[in-house]
Amino acid sequence: MTNDTSVTDVIKQYIVEEFLPDVAVQDLPVDHDLLADGVIDSLGLLKLIAWIEDRFGLPVDDSAMDPDNFRSVRAIGAFVSHAGQPVTNG
């Protein structure tokens, strides 16, 4: 993944395949509230987190378990992009 657009596309594809099989990828808005709409429930959230860890090689620790990080495709993409940045001490 070299940019946010490709990360977002990969996340959208996964969400549709796993949770919305009757929806076309292009029909899922990146800001759609996946949690409030019940697209992703608590077990689905655990599945999504495991997929993020595996697909992007990012450990998701307890401090990152804020539901707002996983509320929409855009939020998930921002979380993945931010989590993949090196930590700087300054």
Q: What is the pTM of this model?
A: 0.85
* CA contacts within 13 A on the Cβ side of 68: 1
Domain for residue 47, yes or no?
A: yes
Which domain does 50 fall in, by range? 4-83
Residue 67 lies in a domain: yes
- Residues recorded for the chain: 90
pLDDT for 2-18, tens place per residue?
455 599 999 999 999 99
**Which amino acid belongs to residue 27?**
D
- The total domain count for the chain is 1
Q: Is residue 90 part of a domain?
A: no
| Residue 64 included in any domain | yes
Q: Tell me 27's DSSP state.
A: G
- 76 assigned to some structural domain: yes
Query: Is 8:77 a contact under the CB 8 Å cutoff?
Result: yes
User: Domain holding 69: CATH number?
Assistant: 1.10.1200.10
Question: Domain for residue 89, yes or no?
Answer: no
Nearest of 53, 46, 47, 9 to residue 30 by alpha carbon: 9
Identify whether the C-beta of residue 51 lies closer than 8 Å to the C-beta of residue 14: yes
- Along the chain (90 residues), what's the average pLDDT of each consecutive run of 10 residues? 73 97 96 96 94 92 87 95 62
